[in-house]
C-alpha cells in the first residue's frame, strides 16, 4: 500500500526550530521527487519545497527560502523539512507529497495525512 506518514508537528515559539519527517512506503522512494505543501487554518494550499529523487536539487517558495531546508534519506525512505526561525505565519498543516512521474516536474499523486505546526508564544 502506497503511503506517506508525516510526524514532528507541534507547538513551537516564534524564532525556534522544528523538524518534520515523512515516512514513505509501498513505492520506490528513491526514484521520485518529493514535496512539502502547507495549508494555513481555513486557507488554501501553498507549495513549500521540492527535492529531486537523489537530493541533488532543491527548490523553495520565497516565503520559506533561507529558513527551511528540505532533505531526504533514501536508505530510510524518509523525507525531512527542517524549519528554522519560525514565524506565526508558518502556522499550518504540513503535507508531504510524491511527484507523479519519475522524470520531470509533475502533479502530486500521493499525499500524507498532514502534521500540524503551530507557532505561538
- The answer to whether residue 114 forms part of the interface with other proteins (CB under 8 A) is yes
User: Which residue lies nearer to other proteins by CB, 77 or 110?
Assistant: 110
- The answer to whether residue 53 forms part of the interface with other proteins (CB under 8 A) is no
Residue 119's nearest CA partner among 55, 66, 40, 61 is: 40
User: Which residue lies nearer to other proteins by CB, 75 or 107?
Assistant: 107
Question: Which of 43-51's residues contact partners 24+ apart within 8 Å by CB, and which partners?
Answer: 43/92, 46/92, 48/81, 48/94, 49/81, 50/99, 51/79
Q: In this chain, which of 18, 20, 22, 50 binds other proteins, going by CB under 8 A?
A: 50
- The answer to whether residue 90 forms part of the interface with other proteins (CB under 8 A) is no
DSSP 75: T
> What is the contact surface with other proteins in residues (CB under 8 A)?
35, 37, 44-47, 50, 52, 57, 59-61, 95, 100, 104-109, 111-114
Amino acid at each position: 500500500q502506497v503511503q506517506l506518514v508525516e510526524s514532528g508537528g507541534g507547538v513551537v515559539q516564534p524564532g525556534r526550530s522544528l523538524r518534520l519527517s515523512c515516512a514513505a512506503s509501498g513505492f520506490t522512494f528513491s526514484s521520485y521527487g518529493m514535496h512539502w505543501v502547507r495549508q494555513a487554518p481555513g486557507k488554501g494550499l501553498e507549495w513549500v519545497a521540492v527535492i529531486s529523487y537523489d537530493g541533488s536539487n532543491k527548490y523553495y517558495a520565497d516565503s520559506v527560502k533561507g529558513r527551511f531546508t528540505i532533505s531526504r534519506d533514501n536508505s530510510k525512505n524518509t523525507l525531512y523539512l527542517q524549519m528554522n526561525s519560525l514565524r506565526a505565519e508558518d502556522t499550518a498543516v504540513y503535507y508531504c507529497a510524491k511527484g507523479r512521474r519519475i522524470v520531470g516536474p509533475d502533479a502530486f499523486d500521493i499525499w500524507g495525512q498532514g502534521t500540524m505546526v503551530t507557532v505561538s508564544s
